[in-house]
């Protein structure tokens, strides 16, 4: 039997506190659901937004910029926090 593969895309609206940083409780819920799927022998590919929102918070900006260079900077800064959040939450299930 071929293993099922699911691609799950989680957008910023489902991961952030109104676009201002990450909602760890919400992310933990998604992680729980993904772990449940993997225990059912489903391969999950996770595609996640949220890096820009986390970067905006870490940079101390009060609103989302329009300038592409500032958005890129926010994404670069926020990516680390986003991945660390996922890593710590998935590690609880090892």
Domain ranges of the chain: 4-91
Burial label, 22 (beta-carbon count in 10 A; 0-12, 13-18, 19+): buried
Whether 3 has a pLDDT exceeding 90, the answer reads no
With H, G, I as helix, E, B as strand and everything else as coil, classify residue 92. coil
Whether 1 has a pLDDT exceeding 80, the answer reads no
Q: Which CATH architecture has domain 4-91?
A: 3-Layer(aba) Sandwich (3.40)
Predicted TM-score (pTM) above 0.85? yes
Round to whole Å and give the CA distance between 75 and 22.
13
Q: What is the pLDDT of residues 23-82, one digit of tens each?
A: 999 999 999 999 999 999 999 999 999 999 999 999 999 999 999 999 999 999 999 999
Amino acid 75: pLDDT: 97
């Amino acid at each position: 039997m071929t293993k099922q593969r699911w691609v799950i895309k989680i957008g910023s609206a489902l991961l952030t506190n109104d676009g201002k940083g990450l909602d760890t409780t919400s992310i933990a819920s998604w992680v729980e659901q993904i772990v449940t799927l993997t225990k059912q022998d489903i391969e999950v590919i996770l595609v996640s937004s949220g890096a820009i929102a986390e970067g905006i918070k870490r940079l101390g900006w009060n609103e989302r910029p329009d300038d592409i260079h500032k958005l890129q900077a926010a994404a670069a800064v926020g990516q680390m926090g986003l991945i660390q959040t996922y890593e710590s939450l998935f590690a609880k299930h090892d």
